[in-house]
Chains A and B, each alone.
Chain A
Amino acid sequence: MAVNEISQLPFTSEFKESLLKIPEGDRIQTCLQCACCSGVCPFGFVMDFPPGRMIAWMRAGNLDEMLKSDSIWMCVSCYACTEVCPKDIPITLALMTRAKEEALLAGNVPAELQSALEFSQQYSNPLGESSRKRAAWTEELDFEVPIVRKEKRPFEVLWFVGDYASYHPRVKNVTIAVAKIFNKLGIDFAILGPDEHSDGDSQRLAGERGLFEMLAEKNDKVLSRAQFGEIITTDPHAYNAFKNEYPKLGFEYPVRHYTELLVEKLDELTPLLKENGQAKVAYHDPCYLGRVNQIYEAPRKLIEAIPGLELVEMAHNKSTSLCCGGGGGGMWLDGFRWEKSESRLSEWRIKEAVTIEADILAVACPYEPPRFEDAVKAVKGAEKLIVKDIAELILDAIDN
């Protein structure tokens, strides 16, 4: 063998070995090369190495080129590949995320993503906002939102708010709507405020395992000192972290998505909801609430409980839902992905909403309002489409 072939082998076999160690990762050995994964992948068409090809090259003992290529950063961690694989290979976790980890270790990181990761470390949020101002949004309410550190008592719900929900001007409106709904229903809740750190899940999926663990440790430190019944979160990525990833580190906390809590309270909620006009509502299943964690019905039940709203389904829904492009570091890779593909996943979704003549696109993830609202501006026929989180729809119906 030539010298450079020999030097490639140890890396590739080490990488391959590490994949097999991930739970069910050994299924990679059973890949049929059917290309379903590469086919369903929303950005598969611009990747030098879509998942299927990655496995093929790895088997051939040659992965250095993949490391040097930057197309791994086109992966949005949407789990579409994992969903369709006939051999149940956990492709997203066992292959794509691991490949990003290697690329990151080798220093192959797009600049936008680098800033988001550095901000996450310095400020506990990827936006680079002061961590001390994480609860500044509560000042816009006319009631006080309890903060764990100040309350010295147990309470029912610890509401994990999240990064974009705390700081982003558009997403804050959703947070405020949720706070008002919780207040109206008399839910006994508190937030961590400045003690809350990014859940770290998107950073984990972007290849920064060490950063994820560091953030998880910080959150665990704060949570373990608080007394509460369960964590409720408005963020499917935080939900995924607490449900599936934090336990792997030994941090176990009961968690539900806020839609599950509100469905439980439907008897109290329904009488408060008045009709606020008639509209057709298309519900977008977020990847990490729907496909990854199989919560499809709770959000729909809430929409159906609002008088005047007619729930319609888009062509891709539930487990086939289209990713908005924000996950897995996508919020911090838009410039990069636009330059590579000249397309935006969020626009694809808006076109589907336009096709079924929806008036409102309902969402349930903090990445979505800004992403879909931007897409609305770029898609012909979408001028009148309104994007709202389910909480905003509920609040509109209460206030009316």
Chain B
Amino acid sequence: MTEIVVIARLVPDLVEELEIAPSGTALDLSWLRLIINEFDNHAIEQAVILKEKTGANVTIISPEAEGVEDMLFTTAAKGADRLIKLTGIDEEKPTNESLAQTLAGIIKEINPDLILNGVQAHDDIAGDLAPQIADLLNLPYVGYISGVSIEGGQAKAFKEYPGGILAEMEITLPAVLGIQASEEPPRYVAISKVRQMMSTTTIEEIAGDGLATENNFVIDRMYLPEAAEKAEMLEGNEEEVAQKLTAILQDLGLL
């Protein structure tokens, strides 16, 4: 049976305002609301789709954070088989370097055929997680994947290239893939199903060893961007604005 591991993380929810911590070099955690990294959500969906097609065993690993249990139970309701929470994380996000090392150790024990992770996380400042894990485990990595199938020891996947060009790739397994989009959009799972999982499924806890929070380069400061110069807003009712816009386009010689 194919073994699939998905690494899923929670990231700051950008719907909320972000604030800088008093230190001036990190985000203010008391203001943060967390939400699942959308790309990781696609990675989970892709894993479940592969399970439905090939009968694979799916393990989800997540670093502990506020709301991570709900997220893990949701993956179980979608079809994940094994849930692992990485503990030993205080409040500050561990560096990708140390997280990759810790996760590589855990993943090595599971010995999967395929490791999936969302291709990027918007709050990462030091590299992407999955390629680092790939290197530590001496596995190939391809990112910006939208669609995967497994055939005889190889993964066939579609990778996005610049300019919107798609390419068919063949990757020798075991491998690590950075998912951009799952084959089908992430499914909805009814909350009653998630609540059911809470009483029937357990989350394993593995203590993270050697997780560090200091980056290997110096951050001078973190700050909010200057209020950008906003567009000149055209005012009036719809007819008036349509007139104004038409005049502007004429002036620009575009009509």
Q: Is A121 an interface position by the 8 A CB rule?
A: yes
Distance in angstroms from B154 CB to nearest chain A CB is 30
Q: What residues on A are CB-neighbors of B188 within 8 Å?
A: 104, 107, 109, 114, 117-118
Stretch at the interface among B85-93, B120-128, B133-141, B189-197: B189-197
- Cβ–Cβ contact A105 & B190, under 8 A: yes
A61 at the interface (CB under 8 A from B): no
The reply to whether B187 and A107 contact each other, CB–CB distance below 8 Å, is yes
> What CA separation (Å) do A105 and B192 show in the bound complex?
9
Given known pairs A111-B185, A122-B35, the reply for A210 and B191 (CB within 8 Å) is yes
Check if B191 sits within 8 Å of A128, measured CB to CB: no
Leading 7 A-B pairs by shortest Cβ distance: A210-B191, A210-B192, A114-B188, A211-B191, A109-B188, A104-B190, A105-B190
Interface residues on A, range: 20 to 34
Q: Which of B13, B187, B190 contacts A208 (CB 8 A)?
A: B190
Q: Does A123 interact with chain B (Cβ within 8 Å)?
A: yes
Chain A residues near B15 (CB-CB < 8 A) = 123, 128-130
Asked if residues A209 and B192 are in contact (CB atoms below 8 Å), the reply is yes
B16 at the binding interface (Cβ < 8 Å):
yes
Does A384 reach chain B (CB closer than 8 Å)?
no
Please tell me if A132 contacts chain B, counting CB pairs below 8 Å: yes
CB neighbours of A208 from chain B (8 A): 190-191
Complex: A101 Cα to B190 Cα, angstroms = 9
Which of the four size classes fits the interface of chain B? 10 to 19
B residues 143-194 touching A (CB-CB < 8 Å): 185, 187-194
State the CA gap A123–B14 with chains docked (Å). Answer: 12
- Given known contacts A105-B190, A107-B188, A114-B188, is B16 in contact with A210 (CB within 8 Å)? no
List which A22-47 residues lie within 8 A (CB) of chain B. none
What residues of chain B lie closer than 8 Å to A249, measured between beta carbons?
none
Query: Which of B16, B17, B35, B191 sits near A214, CB closer than 8 Å?
Result: B191
Chain A residues closer than 8 Å to B187, beta-carbon distance: 107
Asked if residues B35 and A210 are in contact (CB atoms below 8 Å), the reply is no
A352 to B35, CA, bound (A): 46
Supposing A111-B185, A122-B35 touch, asked if A210 and B190 sit within 8 A by C-beta, the answer is yes
Smallest CB separation, A24 vs chain B (Å): 23
Query: Cβ of B190: which chain A residues have Cβ within 8 Å of it?
Result: 101, 104-105, 207-211
Return chain A residues, CB-CB under 8 Å to B191: 121, 208, 210-211, 213-214
B-chain residues with CB within 8 Å of residue A117 when the two chains form the complex: 188
A210 touches B193 (CB 8 A): yes
Q: How far is the CA of A129 from the CA of B33 in the complex (A)?
A: 13
State the CA gap A213–B196 with chains docked (Å): 14
Cα of A209 to Cα of B192 in the assembled complex, Å: 7
Give the residues in chain B near A207, CB-CB below 8 Å. Answer: 190
User: A111 → chain B, closest Cβ, in Å?
Assistant: 7
**What's the nearest-Cβ distance from chain B to residue A126, in Å?**
13
Residue in B16, B189, B194, B195 whose beta carbon sits within 8 Å of that of A130 in the complex: B16
Q: How far is the CB of A216 from chain B (nearest CB, A)?
A: 12
Which of B13, B16, B193 lies in contact with A105, CB distance below 8 A? Answer: B193
Give a binary string over B193-208; 1 marks a CB under 8 Å from any A CB, 0 the rest: 1110000000000000
A237-B230 Cα distance, complex, nearest whole Å = 39
Tell me whether B194 and A210 are in contact (CB under 8 A). yes
What residues of B have a CB within 8 angstroms of the CB of A129 in the complex?
15
Considering the chains assembled together, what is the distance between the CA atoms of A109 and B191 in angstroms?
A: 14
Cα(A208)–Cα(B189), bound, Å? 10
* Cβ-closest chain A residue relative to B195: A210
Identity of the chain B residue whose Cβ is nearest the Cβ of A106 in the assembled complex: B190
In the complex, A123→B187 CA distance in Å? Answer: 19
User: Which residues of chain A have C-beta atoms less than 8 A from B189's C-beta?
Assistant: 107
User: Can you list 11 residue pairs at the A/B interface with Cβ under 8 Å?
Assistant: A101-B190, A107-B187, A107-B189, A123-B15, A130-B15, A132-B16, A208-B190, A209-B192, A210-B192, A211-B190, A213-B191
Chain A residues lying within 8 Å of B17, measured Cβ to Cβ, are: 130, 132
- List chain A residues, Cβ under 8 A from B192: 105, 209-210
Q: A residues within 8 A CB of B13?
A: 122
Q: Complex formed: what's the CA distance from A25 to B77 in Å?
A: 29
Chain B, range 12-37, C-beta contacts under 8 Å to A: 13, 15-17, 35
In Å, the complex CA distance between A211 and B190 comes to 8
CB distance from A317 to the nearest CB of B (A): 33
Contact code string A86-125 (vs B, CB < 8 Å = 1, else 0): 0000000000000001001101010100100110011100
| Residue among B35, B192, B194 with the highest chain A CB neighbour number at 10 A | B192
Chain A residue at smallest Cβ distance from B35: A122
Nearest Cβ distance between residue A92 and chain B, in whole angstroms?
A: 19
Given contacts A109-B188, A114-B188, A210-B193, 7 further A-B contacts (CB under 8 A): A107-B187, A123-B15, A128-B15, A208-B191, A210-B195, A211-B190, A211-B191
**Docked CA distance A123–B16 (Å):** 10
Contact partners of A107 in chain B: CB under 8 A: 187-189
CA distance A282 to B254 in the complex (A): 48
Q: Which of B17, B189, B191, B195 has the most CB of A within 10 A?
A: B191
When chains A and B are docked, how far (Å) is the Cα of A109 from the Cα of B193?
A: 15
Tell me the nearest residue of chain A to B67, going by C-beta.
A122
Complex alpha-carbon distance, A117 and B187, angstroms: 12
As a 0/1 sequence over residues 255 to 295 of chain A, the CB contacts with chain B under 8 angstroms (1 = contact) are 00000000000000000000000000000000000000000
Which B residue sits closest to A207, measured CB to CB? B190
Chain B nearest Cβ from A215, distance in angstroms: 10
Q: A377 → chain B, closest Cβ, in Å?
A: 11
In whole angstroms, what is the CA distance A105 to B16 when docked? 30
How long is the Cα–Cα vector from A123 to B190 in the complex, in angstroms? 17
Q: Which residue in chain B gives the minimum CB-CB distance to A111? A: B185
Q: Which single residue of chain A is at the shortest CB-CB distance from B31?
A: A132
CB distance from A90 to the nearest CB of B (A): 21
Q: What is the minimal beta-carbon distance from B29 to any residue of chain A, in angstroms?
A: 16
Q: How far is the CA of A114 from the CA of B194 in the complex (A)?
A: 15
Separation of A130 and B190 alpha carbons in the complex (Å): 22
**Most chain-A CB neighbours within 10 Å: which of B35, B185, B190, B193?**
B190
